[in-house]
Structure 1
């Protein structure tokens, strides 16, 4: 019987004599027996809890001292016990954190950075790093012989920071497939688009779509972070945050600029007919903006974010915000949001500040339909620059992308003359 069942049985007997009558000899003996069993079970539970707390405390002490050993081969059914060990073994090491510490220490050691506390790996950090290399070598050919891998959690953190500052790059759709990738481009519906039919009748024409496949092989994006010799003494956490923040900041500019480059490419980007100019020089009108928006197409492809307008700060406030109706009121609505990149709306479309775009250029479209792929990275490679003794860290991403529907974006350039 479980402890709960024993308690229920005892309570039932107590309730039976709640009127003050004396229990029978048989019931009294049963009550005494249940009480003994409950006390015994309670003592056993308390003893087990004390033993486990002591084991966990010992394990945590081993982690702090760097003596905790990773256990990967213990059968799941008896995961709390290890053959050959005395007593129960509970390995509560956070190996993701240990892998991050090992990576940071290795980065510092290879670049001559003196960390407070040193760069020597503990047993737990060494085991975590070895395990990560072995695991990823089974799936990624490019890292099979790499001695120090950027932890996945760090890669995600760098990408997250890039997305927060790389405006267009942060909006596009991205995958992480290795090897050459081909994306189909939906260029047009040549025949048989949706049309009205009579009840019960088949469509008058079968839809015919114009597709072409565009291969993506990946382009290398690199940016260097520099640290002077004077800055070369750091705490581990401070050094890690410095690398993540600075590499993200450098790569965000490069990744965003490259995404815009692909957007403007004749083969990978928007259709030539979607690149237009204003009707008059040095002037932006409602008609110009509406014409640009009228060129946009999705051909039925999903675009959850809708149309977004991109321009730099000067173009937004000197041109877009100055478009007025006949009463002198601006069509642009300045909306304060949690996202500092969003400057407002015009004609119901979000306007974002993107400083990768030149003055006098406005881009609008469906960012969901720009399909990007990160083949490798983000990666960080350290080295010491000769003579200057600067500690350098090369941020690296292997990326490529294509606009899946060439008419999904349009570009409006304000004539200079």
Structure 2
């Protein structure tokens, strides 16, 4: 059976398994899940074979030595593109060696000076540009733990980013009129979302005896260390940022809105009507793509225990493990940035924008007495909402001191 046929069969089995779960047919659902696992094993073997074939077809020797014999390959993938890939790879090594105090080769020194000269020229920053691969790794880890931040539409515009937004029609909307009657002129209300940027800094300390680590180990260590804290800062701010020394979070903005029209409060435990009441707050144009964001404790202590009139749970766990599950047809995402007892529902991709105003850089400082080196990462980031109508927040009326988000 071909791969596309296997994928189609898998999709059909998934749909049928979910239907069995909804109808309390556990045994039938389990049989279909067993079939899905067998299909996944076949697909995985195909993927491994494809990856191995691709690796053989793209040997480093061909890329690094584009001589006359390899001209055909160079023409096919583009000499300039290959050259850029090589330089990026060299810059990662040059960056790591510089941070570890190791000597650079002439080629590494050339690409290191060139990359940072361009970076320093375009910003006032005096740090060293962190390679794209490291930055991507940092943000990837952050986005895995904080899906609200991941779902925001992103830009990389230096300086302030201004986005015009349509707030509504004051008068003159579409109307029924008599043949001889002139329709009212349309008057629109427009606003602006201005993302100026907030500074974000994180320092990782490395003992000198650790600086003998390999380039690969250093990159892995730095990526994880910076992601652990930068990720928490970005992810928590996406929800709870105050707007003072940090961007304003979505939940903070919903709670601060006059009359809190997008906030639904509940007493005790979350009930069926509380969820439907929150969903009703979302404007119809954003409802279909809305996602439910909740922390792990609230998901399993509350949402997973809500049942219909027949006692069947409303939350449907994803048996494949590709997602957490669904509630009322909306995907549920576990996000450490939400407070205990709170549930955020909304179409993030169409209503929230983030901008990295300045690329992430790294400065270092040696401490002789402590025999250690501080590596300080620095970037400028901002985000904001185009409209609050695409969100609803379910929040307890009286809550005990909430746990610190990000934990």
Q: TM-score range by the shorter chain?
A: 0.5 to 0.7
State whether residues 363 and 410 of structure 1, in contact with CA within 8 Å, keep that contact through their aligned partners in structure 2. yes
Partner residue in 2 for 1:276: 264
Task: Give me the whole-angstrom Cα distance separating, in 2, the residues matched to 1:269 and 1:307.
Answer: 21
Task: Give me the whole-angstrom Cα distance separating, in 2, the residues matched to 1:94 and 1:141.
Answer: 25
How well do the aligned residues superpose, as a CA RMSD in angstroms?
A: 3.6
Q: Please state whether the residue corresponding to 1:329 is helix, strand or coil.
A: coil
Task: Give me the whole-angstrom Cα distance separating, in 2, the residues matched to 1:364 and 1:275.
Answer: 10
Q: CA deviation at 1:196?
A: 7.3
Partner residue in 1 for 2:290: 307
Partner residue in 2 for 1:77: none
| Structure 2 residue 226 is the aligned partner of structure 1 residue 247 | yes
Task: Give me the whole-angstrom Cα distance separating, in 2, the residues matched to 1:401 and 1:183.
Answer: 12
Q: CA deviation at 1:193?
A: 4.7
| Structure 2 residue 107 is the aligned partner of structure 1 residue 106 | no
Deviations 1:164-201 (A, max 9, x none): 33321111111011112223344334445556789x99
Task: Give me the whole-angstrom Cα distance separating, in 1, the residues matched to 2:268 and 2:297.
Answer: 13
TM-score, normalization: structure 1? Answer: 0.66
| Structure 2 residue 251 is the aligned partner of structure 1 residue 264 | yes
Q: Please state whether the residue corresponding to 1:372 is helix, strand or coil.
A: strand
Q: CA deviation at 1:249?
A: 2.3
More helix per residue: 2
Which structure has the larger Rg over C-alpha atoms?
A: 1
Partner residue in 2 for 1:372: 354
Which structure 2 residues correspond to residues 217-232 of structure 1 after superposition, within 5 A?
Answer: 217-232=196-211
Task: Give me the whole-angstrom Cα distance separating, in 2, the residues matched to 1:186 and 1:337.
Answer: 40
Task: Give me the whole-angstrom Cα distance separating, in 2, the residues matched to 1:167 and 1:133.
Answer: 32
State whether residues 155 and 379 of structure 1, in contact with CA within 8 Å, keep that contact through their aligned partners in structure 2. no
Task: Give me the whole-angstrom Cα distance separating, in 2, the residues matched to 1:329 and 1:255.
Answer: 37
Structure 2, gaps ≥5 residues long: 1-60, 66-78, 242-247, 400-407
| Structure 2 residue 132 is the aligned partner of structure 1 residue 152 | yes
Q: Rate the CA distance shift 1:289–1:241 in 2: closer, same or farther, 3 A.
A: same
Q: Please state whether the residue corresponding to 2:308 is helix, strand or coil.
A: coil
State whether residues 226 and 392 of structure 1, in contact with CA within 8 Å, keep that contact through their aligned partners in structure 2. yes
State whether residues 190 and 208 of structure 1, in contact with CA within 8 Å, keep that contact through their aligned partners in structure 2. yes
Structure 1, gaps ≥5 residues long: 1-55, 61-79, 81-90, 110-118
Which structure 2 residues correspond to residues 336-351 of structure 1 after superposition, within 5 A?
Answer: 336-337=319-320, 339=322, 342-351=323-332
State whether residues 311 and 357 of structure 1, in contact with CA within 8 Å, keep that contact through their aligned partners in structure 2. yes
Q: CA deviation at 1:359?
A: 0.5
State whether residues 298 and 340 of structure 2, in contact with CA within 8 Å, keep that contact through their aligned partners in structure 1. yes
Task: Give me the whole-angstrom Cα distance separating, in 2, the residues matched to 1:251 and 1:329.
Answer: 41
State whether residues 381 and 394 of structure 1, in contact with CA within 8 Å, keep that contact through their aligned partners in structure 2. yes
Task: Give me the whole-angstrom Cα distance separating, in 1, the residues matched to 2:94 and 2:256.
Answer: 41
Match of 1:216 among 175, 183, 195: 195
Deviations 1:253-274 (A, max 9, x none): 1111112122134499867321
TM-score, normalization: structure 2? Answer: 0.67
Partner residue in 2 for 1:122: 105
State whether residues 145 and 336 of structure 2, in contact with CA within 8 Å, keep that contact through their aligned partners in structure 1. no
Task: Give me the whole-angstrom Cα distance separating, in 2, the residues matched to 1:253 and 1:294.
Answer: 31
Task: Give me the whole-angstrom Cα distance separating, in 2, the residues matched to 1:121 and 1:212.
Answer: 51
Deviations 1:380-400 (A, max 9, x none): 333345754443322333111
| Structure 2 residue 263 is the aligned partner of structure 1 residue 316 | no
Q: Rate the CA distance shift 1:256–1:209 in 2: closer, same or farther, 3 A.
A: farther
Partner residue in 2 for 1:414: 396
Q: CA deviation at 1:99?
A: 1.3
Q: Please state whether the residue corresponding to 2:300 is helix, strand or coil.
A: helix
| Structure 2 residue 384 is the aligned partner of structure 1 residue 402 | yes
Partner residue in 2 for 1:95: 87
Q: CA deviation at 1:252?
A: 1.1
Task: Give me the whole-angstrom Cα distance separating, in 2, the residues matched to 1:155 and 1:137.
Answer: 17
Task: Give me the whole-angstrom Cα distance separating, in 1, the residues matched to 2:337 and 2:91.
Answer: 35
Partner residue in 2 for 1:359: 340
Partner residue in 2 for 1:393: 375
State whether residues 135 and 360 of structure 2, in contact with CA within 8 Å, keep that contact through their aligned partners in structure 1. yes
Deviations 1:312-361 (A, max 9, x none): 1111111111111111111111114554xx42111101111111111111
Task: Give me the whole-angstrom Cα distance separating, in 2, the residues matched to 1:147 and 1:284.
Answer: 49
State whether residues 372 and 402 of structure 1, in contact with CA within 8 Å, keep that contact through their aligned partners in structure 2. yes
The 10-residue stretch of structure 1 (224-233 or 316-325) with the greater mean CA deviation from structure 2: 224-233
